[in-house]
Amino acid sequence: MNFFRGCTALITGASSGLGLEFARQLAPLARTLVIVARRLDRLDALKADLMRNHPQLSIYTYGIDLADDEAIDGFLKWLWTEGLRVNFLINNAGLGDHGEFQSADWSKVKQMLDVNIAALTKLTHRLLPMLRSFETAAILNVSSSAGFVPVPHLAVYAATKAYVTSFSEALRAELRNTGVSVTTLCPGPVDTEFGEVANRGEVREMQSPEFLKISADQVVHSALRAVANDRARVVPGLAVALMMIVVCAVPMLLLRLGLNVAAARLRRTE
């Protein structure tokens, strides 16, 4: 994990779940953490907690709604003003929406597109010159195993994550031999606040089989190891990794049949 020693990492969505865990696991190694999300109180509490055990660490908190394009400009200006030179960008913030597309709340759909796609792309675009000014730097984009195939009742979410995976793989190829590595993290189900945010009140709870679940701690550990080893993609957990190999090998015609059956079953349970 040599790369992380003394790094300056920017972690989006650090107020809970995977983002918070990234901050925890990087705290003993990094020199500076810049942690952002909307819930500034949570970021400040995390900062106080980490500073107790890692007094050598500098932590900057910034409250931002990443769905707000102008707020991102303001944040980037603040980064320059503070003289913060990021060499590890973790695009982690994201949200899902569980249920039929037709009955989705448009503001939530828009938020998914803005946070999962637009903010991730803009931060990467604007910070790339800074990242490239280092001998070695890294981008870790948090996608999902849901990005490998279309998922009824997570249609927009899965599509946003397909974008993240595709974008990250292409960017990795563009940045080959520049010193900037790009890694895509594709977790299966993890117990965080994600499910709570994705569920709509009236829709049946989003449930994932227990055997596919792994802890945030394990996901983040695997992700950081993948970045350290300059791996293109990481699917943490053996069960999810095997399932994704099988799913990706299924011919499209057969996959469509499966999707139709799954969508019909979901309709009946609503």
Check if 157 is active-site. Answer: yes
- Which among 25, 33, 28 has a CA at the least distance from the CA of 54? 28
Q: Does 144 bind ligand NAP (CB under 6 A)?
A: yes
- Which among 183, 219, 194, 228 has a CA at the least distance from the CA of 91? 183
Instruction: Indicate which single residue of 5, 6, 39, 125 sits in contact with ligand NAP (rule: CB under 6 A).
Output: 39
State how far the Cα of 7 lies from the Cα of 171, in Å rounded to an integer: 22
Q: At closest approach, how far in Å is the CB of 110 from ligand NAP? A: 11
Q: How many CA atoms lie within 13 A of 72 on its CB side?
A: 17
Q: Does 93 bind ligand NAP (CB under 6 A)?
A: yes
- What is the pairing mode between strands 58-63 and 88-91? unpaired
Of the pair 71, 228, the CB lying nearest ligand NAP is at 71
Q: Does 37 bind ligand NAP (CB under 6 A)?
A: yes
Q: At closest approach, how far in Å is the CB of 268 from ligand NAP? A: 24
Note the Cα 2 to chain centre separation in Å. 22
Q: Does 17 bind ligand NAP (CB under 6 A)?
A: yes
Q: At closest approach, how far in Å is the CB of 108 from ligand NAP? A: 10
Q: Does 95 bind ligand NAP (CB under 6 A)?
A: yes
Q: Does 156 bind ligand NAP (CB under 6 A)?
A: no
Instruction: Indicate which single residue of 3, 4, 10, 13 sits in contact with ligand NAP (rule: CB under 6 A).
Output: 13
Instruction: Indicate which single residue of 124, 183, 192, 222 sits in contact with ligand NAP (rule: CB under 6 A).
Output: 192
Give the number of other Cβ atoms within 10 Å of residue 237's Cβ: 21
Burial of 72 (0-12, 13-18, 19+ CB in 10 A): buried
Of the pair 44, 134, the CB lying nearest ligand NAP is at 44
User: What's the alpha-carbon Rg for the chain, to the nearest Å?
Assistant: 18
Q: Does 237 bind ligand NAP (CB under 6 A)?
A: no
Instruction: Indicate which single residue of 9, 26, 57, 66 sits in contact with ligand NAP (rule: CB under 6 A).
Output: 66
Helix (H, G, I), strand (E, B) or coil at 246: helix
Q: At closest approach, how far in Å is the CB of 145 from ligand NAP? A: 6
Sheet of 180-185: strands edge to edge?
Answer: 58-63, 32-37, 8-12, 88-91, 137-142, 180-185, 233-234
Active site residues: 157
- Contacts to ligand NAP by CB under 6 A: 13-19, 37-39, 64-67, 92-96, 111, 115, 142, 144, 187, 189-190, 192-194, 197
